[in-house]
Amino acid sequence: METNFKKVRVFAFYLPQFHPIVENDFWWGKGFTEWTNVSKAKPLFPTHYQPRIPGDLGFYDLRLQEVQEQQAIMAGEYGIDGFIYWHYWLGEGKQMMQMPIEQMFENKNITLPFALCWANHSWYAKNWNSKGVKGKDKLLLRQTYPGIGDYKNHFRKVLKFFLDDRYIRINNKPIFGLYEPYSLPDVNIFIDVWNQLAKENGLDGIHFIAFNSQHKNANKPFEYKYDSSIVEYVGSSKNINNNFFKYFYLGVLKRIFKWPHIISYKKYLKHVLEETNKNTNVFPCIVPNYDHSPRSHRAATILHNSTPTLWGKLLDGVLKQLKDREGEQFLFIKAWNEWAEGNYLEPDLKFGKKYLEVLRNKIDENE
């Protein structure tokens, strides 16, 4: 899909995890999915919104093709221009959670555009107990970079997606994200190899996008051969409590009393709008909500008191900033369905479709 856009396009990250896999069965017990953590979550303080229970789509299983069809239809109706699927390639041909992506690719009833972002990180069992005390993490799967031969094999595996008419492109270049853009020991060689292979297969190259959790790294990708940069502001928002005494107080609560790291959504909103990078090759990535406690308990980071109204204020500000830019105007949302991070646009029982309705309204208002 060619994307020389004149208006802001909105893409949501998509987690292809919600189905049993052999590895999770072995590590965590038969039938484990992210829903296991989601359903067991408990509030850590009186106003803490947990557990978060899915609404319209329920506790779905991605082995059912109807689920992905319903998700794509819903996303399109409320202004999402495409899904960015997390893609797991651990080196030497080892892939994880590929079934939903393959199933979507084969299902031509799904017309929503898509792209891939390589979740190139090792898998660990995070050792947090119920009180938030952290021990030594256990390595489950190691991300490896065996070299040029593996880069070529990786490209061959994803080429069919790049050639699909639904795949999101910029100037005939499929976009491809890297979650840990600086972990590759030879990132420029990787980029050169893939660009050459893309040209040999009728494309003009690959548009490489580096994912950054801290806004201070927004321009770092351009020290390498990346074409653009995504900045997600949750990582840097941990430092927004700039009042020394409050920062010290919260640090004491976290370290001594095992209190989660709580940031008000209002402060997160203000932080994003103040720190948004104006570089035309840097795309913002915003979250409607964030709460890692289903996975990490009291060691969690929590954006507290997110509401559809505040989400609308954030969208309005970011969309207005993007409209003033030259070039591609992309807004990334993390995420469509990362439920165990309390980070989703899908309907839940408390708010229903309100976050989606606000998204649709703000997109319409800013066209």
Give the largest CA-CA distance in the chain. Answer: 59
Tens digit of pLDDT per residue, the chain (367 long)? 544 444 899 999 999 999 999 999 999 999 999 999 999 999 999 999 999 999 999 999 999 999 999 999 999 999 999 999 999 999 999 999 999 999 999 999 999 999 999 999 999 886 544 444 455 678 999 999 999 999 999 999 999 999 999 999 999 999 999 999 999 999 999 999 999 999 999 999 999 999 998 778 888 999 999 999 999 888 655 556 555 445 554 555 555 556 788 999 999 999 999 988 778 899 999 999 999 999 888 888 899 999 999 999 999 999 999 988 877 889 999 999 999 999 999 999 999 999 999 999 999 998 8
268-to-285, 328, 340 alpha-carbon distances in Å = 13, 25, 20
- Quote the CA–CA distance of 55 and 59 in Å, as a whole number: 8
Tokens of 153: 């094999």
Tokens of 196: 């050459």
pLDDT at 240: 61
Quick check: is 3 in a domain?
no
Contact 234, 228 (CB under 8 A): no
Residues 6+ apart with CB under 8 A from 219: 229, 277, 279, 282
Contact 192, 186 (CB under 8 A): no
Chain centroid to Cα 336, Å, comes to 8
Taking the alpha carbons at both ends of the chain, their separation in whole angstroms is 21
Which of 73, 72, 77, 71 is CA-nearest to residue 58?
71
Contact 76, 112 (CB under 8 A): yes
Contact 194, 212 (CB under 8 A): no
- Quote the CA–CA distance of 298 and 131 in Å, as a whole number: 6
pLDDT at 298: 81
- Quote the CA–CA distance of 353 and 364 in Å, as a whole number: 17
- Quote the CA–CA distance of 92 and 353 in Å, as a whole number: 42
Residues 6+ apart with CB under 8 A from 58: none
Quick check: is 242 in a domain?
yes
Quick check: is 2 in a domain?
no
Quick check: is 1 in a domain?
no
DSSP state of 128: B
Can you give the pTM of this predicted structure?
A: 0.92
Quick check: is 277 in a domain?
yes
pLDDT at 367: 82
- Quote the CA–CA distance of 283 and 301 in Å, as a whole number: 23
pLDDT at 142: 96
Tokens of 191: 């980029």
153-to-117, 164, 225 alpha-carbon distances in Å = 17, 19, 21
Quick check: is 348 in a domain?
yes
DSSP state of 150: H
Q: How many residues does the chain have?
A: 367
Enclosing domain of residue 51: 9-365
Number of H helices, E strands in the chain: 12, 17
- Quote the CA–CA distance of 265 and 311 in Å, as a whole number: 9
Domain count, the chain: 1
Where do runs of H (alpha helix) occur along the chain? 22-28, 34-40, 65-77, 99-106, 148-162, 187-200, 234-237, 244-255, 265-275, 293-296, 308-323, 354-365
pLDDT at 3: 46
Tokens of 159: 């080429």
35-to-141, 218, 344 alpha-carbon distances in Å = 21, 33, 13
Quick check: is 4 in a domain?
no
Domain with 33 in it: what CATH number?
3.20.20
pLDDT at 249: 47
Tokens of 300: 């969690």
